[in-house]
Amino acid sequence: MIHNPNSLLPIVVFDETDDWNSVRQLCSEYLDQPGQGRLETALSANTKCVAVEHHYIDKDYRDTFSNFHSKRFSTPGSRCVRLHFFNRQVSPDELKEPANIQENYLGYSVIRPTRPNSIGRTLIDFKNYTGLGVYVCSCKEKVSLQGTELEVEGFPFISQDTDATVCAQSALWMMARYFSNQYTIYPESYPSQISNLVQDYAVGSRVVPADGLYTWQLAETLRRLGLSPITYSRAGFDPDTFRRILYTYVESGIPVLAVIPGHVVVLNGHSSDFSPLAAVTSPTFSSNFCNGITVNDDNHIPYQYISETSTTHNGINFADIKEVVVGLAEKVFLTAENFEKVVLNILDDPIVGIKKLSPELAKEPLILRMFLTTVKSYKKKVSSRGMGDPKVESTYRELPLPHFIWICELSTPEEYGKGNVLGEIIWDATRNARETEGWIAIHYPEVLLIDAGSSLNDPQKLLNFNLTLGNQPYSMYRSNLKEV
């Protein structure tokens, strides 16, 4: 059934007579067969109804139209169609009130009048995917559907139009849009702005039509967007370290650009298999249990999944990833691989290590979970988590801390399997790894060591607090990623 088929907002309700083909027929100048195929693959499991918003003026498509398509002899249209997906049948009257339909709204996809790829800016809500056991970077957007304001949470997606943008610009756009949606410090950037960010380096070649970028140009684009990029390559790091670094940044809620031969995708989440926990006999990073990564590949659909053994729809396997480019916030000077060295150095230290200070942790193999977070987010959860001891909770709440902190949570296989930890090491992300002044806290079940001096902008003053409650597990910190 199609409500108001000749209006500017027909609504296709999937039943015996109407389906995805009906959607395409309503906007055939925009949505082509391959585009329909992609949407079906991504959404057919849950979508029961599609609203077709005609004459949609899309900010990103308008940008590429103005800066590229309008300069051609034969031009595509300047407007788009925007499709809105719902997981139940919706009537035109229901669309007027957000409370009626917010829970059923699965997101939107802007359909461009471009070929070969018509799928434009897209944000599919995680409601479309449930019980997958993955943790994904997410951001929220407000969507106005003829005045009805809806909210959608997901990770931005766009496909390349193969002229103004190819995979490099599309991947950069996805990263940039995530950061600008998530953090107000980053401005919203449009495709041609992204392309132009490296025009200084297009010496002797064109910026548009886009021919592609080198990995270092990806990093340079992120830098010009206000991030501090770091590149990691399999050429420099052994496979385990490479994997661990990649995981740590994703675990920190930082999507990464993953370069495979001739292509680049965005890695934005992960899943884990904890069945090997029982067999752990030595200190183990939580990244060891990671069994898959979620991927936004502009050549297909969002939220694909790759592992060591499985591949995306385009045949991408984890081993294909040769390099990753990470965009860190400007003030994060300490990198993941260096924080890892700090952690291992501390745990093994004869004065502050676990053998000396924590018989509880020394008697079992440790599970180490590393991530970066903001102090605002971390402190928000301190009281609800309890931190194993009221002294730890009150100290963390009251002590001034830097904007960005690296955390290594400490746990045992049994407690980690329950989602609990027994302590943590907190380090100042604005410090050099060699400086002990980066020390914020070392928390073992028996003792809390903090640097009251550096926190209060004084010379380092390490204080010891004996904790009386002993081995009290508490929930691990979860805020950087959304569980789907």
Site residues, other proteins (CB under 8 A):
166-168, 211-216, 218-219, 230-233, 235-237, 241, 259, 261-264, 322-323, 325, 335, 337-338, 341-342, 345, 349, 351-352, 391, 394-395, 398-399, 433-436, 449-450, 452-453, 456, 458, 460-465
Write out the DSSP string of 86-137: ESS---TTGGG-HHHHGGGEEEEEEE-S-SS--EEEEEE-GGGS-S--EEE-
The Cα–Cα gap between 210 and 162 comes to 7
Considering the complex, what minimum distance in angstroms separates the CB of residue 338 from other proteins?
A: 6
Question: CB-wise, 380 or 461, nearer to other proteins?
Answer: 461
Question: Phi then psi for 78, rounded to 5 degrees?
Answer: -95, -5
Question: CB-wise, 218 or 306, nearer to other proteins?
Answer: 218
278's CB contacts (< 8 A; 6+ apart) are: 413
Q: Kindly state the tokens that stand for 104.
A: 């059923």
Q: Which element (helix H / strand E) includes 455?
A: helix 452-455
Q: Kindly state the tokens that stand for 464.
A: 């010891």
Considering the complex, what minimum distance in angstroms separates the CB of residue 431 from other proteins?
A: 12
Question: CB-wise, 56 or 396, nearer to other proteins?
Answer: 396
Q: Kindly state the tokens that stand for 353.
A: 């290590």
Question: CB-wise, 299 or 311, nearer to other proteins?
Answer: 299
Question: CB-wise, 8 or 463, nearer to other proteins?
Answer: 463
Considering the complex, what minimum distance in angstroms separates the CB of residue 198 from other proteins?
A: 12
Q: Kindly state the tokens that stand for 230.
A: 């770091």
Considering the complex, what minimum distance in angstroms separates the CB of residue 29 from other proteins?
A: 28
Write out the DSSP string of 19-48: SHHHHHHHTTTT--HHHHHHHHHHHTTT--
Considering the complex, what minimum distance in angstroms separates the CB of residue 301 from other proteins?
A: 20
Considering the complex, what minimum distance in angstroms separates the CB of residue 115 from other proteins?
A: 18
What angle, rounded to 10 degrees, do the helices at 167-182 and 215-224 form?
A: 30
Question: CB-wise, 18 or 161, nearer to other proteins?
Answer: 161
Considering the complex, what minimum distance in angstroms separates the CB of residue 336 from other proteins?
A: 10
The Cα–Cα gap between 344 and 280 comes to 17
Question: CB-wise, 81 or 168, nearer to other proteins?
Answer: 168
Question: CB-wise, 25 or 464, nearer to other proteins?
Answer: 464
Considering the complex, what minimum distance in angstroms separates the CB of residue 464 from other proteins?
A: 4
What sections of 348-412 are H helices per DSSP? 354-357, 359-362, 375-385, 390-398
The Cα–Cα gap between 427 and 16 comes to 60
Q: Kindly state the tokens that stand for 231.
A: 């590149």
